[in-house]
Chain A
């Protein structure tokens, strides 16, 4: 046994709790989950069967914990962990599964495949087998939390500039983007870039919300690594900020994994219930719409518009009806994808895949079922409440020449608010122009 395999197996042992052992033991290898996976839908090969992927970890588990497998490994096809096997498992966990849980809801046993793959990711990360880009992004976020002063002045300057844009957009010369405001009700945690700040600031301005902008970004790459320590460190920056400001709730930008991390997982990393509420901005906007706090003109968005359910926000997060309530209020031409809500297909970009330039061909391949869904809907614009999904959908639109635009919920809301500075229609796809790929498989 090498040092790496010993570390990986040590971590597996440490992670073995009731939910993980149940997921490892309960699979009857019936294969009924097979077609639930968007990888398999895109490319029906055995390696893309969710049960086959999970089986790779089970083989190792059985070789360590099942005496029948220890005596007769061929009987249960168990395998000892080697460095090569570990590298292959790591590659699989980081690129061949987006942790979307579609197989879980389609499994008669309810096998928690994302839990298995996350455990594998943790083993891979602990042994230096994780994608370098995810490591770098997670480390950068942790570092930023250690010393915010290194970028705070620059951040505040850019917010001042953004405030001017906000005033032009809203036509309100007093519109502001408060930062580090003590006692504010809401701490809004955005992503990098003005596109997740300005529209939300305009909405907050319109309803007179008492809010403040976080000096940190919502993204949490520690989650993708399966590294609870780093994920906690990244979340801690925001939790500490919320506690210091005494806010009533943290509101997470339109970002699936950031919402999932802060809403559902972070309290468990900290081992305590948070003294504040955690919601998605989608929940908050839906509340405004439900209580008629926003004046909306749906004719501002006349295009056929559909909604892509982010796995982290929808199936794994429960934010299923709120986006629909909003979209029906901001467009007269909303149409559903089929299937949708908790049965929606993953776009193929989740769980850190969008950040990994090495897997773009795979991303384009596995996003094909989503493109076909969108084509069937006849929509020319797709709304997604998740940044990773939007990037992936934009890439898919370009790659397959599908011609649909991609936008966020808040953008459509702002358009429907008919603000003096809002112009244009939903036409620009958010495709990352730096990504290049061959147009194949149309």
Chain B
């Protein structure tokens, strides 16, 4: 068995583990009560949810992200490249079919993502308040993701490095549902509840803020 095939199988097993563990988590979560809100709505819940999942995530939508636009965009950038890299993992057995120009472009984007993630790792060390807030889990998770993105970029650049990408991917996939990275499956729910809350009250989107008389 070649090293490539061996590491591919390892990554496939890790992916199965990841999906199964997330499925269990999700099932447990969905089995919890979702309290019905019986208050008379002042605004549209649907509009609030739509806002929370779209415009409400724009850098200009919040005071915090307006003030820290670069930090926010760094976070957005590296999260987008994580999803890109996960997609890369799925198509990697057929990577040679992807045109070189596309591969190289993706390599640059993914490498930039790795850099952004690594900057996040550094900022946890350098920013006093962030350091106080961080756990070993945080440092490990972001370092692992930095490596994942760097390995993805390297594999896109040189396919001979694919086994390294598979090994790192396996680590990421196994750790994902166990450690801090698992926050990804709760994100949509959290934004959904946010949108329901503020949409119902006519606070978001801003177009709902009008005199009701």
Identify the A interface with B (CB < 8 A). Answer: 16-19, 21-23, 25-36, 46, 49, 51-52, 55, 68, 74-77, 104-112, 263-268, 270-274, 277-278, 283, 286-287, 289-291, 314-318, 320-322, 325, 339, 341-343
Contacts and interface: CB of A to CB of B under 8 A. Distances in A.
A21 B40 contact: no
A51 B133 contact: yes
13 contacts: A25-B186, A31-B129, A35-B67, A74-B136, A76-B136, A106-B63, A110-B52, A110-B56, A110-B190, A110-B191, A291-B213, A316-B201, A321-B209
A315 B203 CA distance: 7
A110 B133 contact: no
B87 interface: no
B159 interface: no
B63 A268 contact: no
B63 A21 contact: no
B193 A22 contact: yes
A315 B180 CA distance: 30
A17 B34 contact: yes
Interface of B: 29-30, 32-40, 42-43, 52, 56-57, 62-65, 67-68, 71-72, 75, 127-130, 132-138, 178-180, 182-183, 186-187, 189-191, 193-195, 197-198, 201-204, 208-213
A16 to B, nearest CB: 6
A272 B187 CA distance: 30
Contact of A322 (B189, B190, B194, B211): B211
Contacts of B38: 267-268, 270-273
B23 to A, nearest CB: 16
Contacts of B190: 22-23, 26, 109-112
Nearest to B61: A105
Given A22-B190, A267-B38, A28 B67 contact: no
A33 B65 CA distance: 9
Given A17-B34, A35-B64, A110-B193, A77 B186 contact: no
Given A19-B35, A76-B135, 14 more contacts: A17-B35, A22-B186, A22-B193, A32-B65, A46-B133, A52-B133, A75-B137, A104-B194, A265-B39, A267-B38, A283-B212, A289-B213, A316-B203, A320-B209
A266 B211 CA distance: 23
Most chain-B CB neighbours within 10 Å: which of A18, A264, A283? A18
A277 B42 CA distance: 11
A16 B133 CA distance: 24
Nearest to A103: B64
B201 A31 contact: no
Contacts of A107: 64
B133 A29 contact: yes
Contacts of A35: 64, 67
Contacts of B130: 29-31
Contacts of A17: 32-35
Most central of A265, A266, A291, A320 by chain B CB within 10 Å: A320
A18 B193 contact: yes
B189 A18 contact: yes
A335 B204 CA distance: 23
A318 B178 CA distance: 39
A31 B63 contact: no
B187 A26 contact: yes
A14 to B, nearest CB: 10
Contacts of A273: 38, 40
Question: Which of A25, A263, A277, A316 gathers the greatest number of chain B CB atoms within 10 Å?
Answer: A25
B203 A342 contact: yes
B35 A322 contact: no
A314 B35 CA distance: 23
Contacts of A29: 130, 133-135, 138, 180
Contact of A339 (B42, B63, B68): B63
A148 B132 CA distance: 52
Pairs A-B, 6 closest by C-beta atoms:
A110-B194, A106-B64, A318-B201, A318-B202, A290-B213, A267-B38
A30 B75 contact: yes
Given A35-B64, A273-B40, A318-B203, A109 B133 contact: no
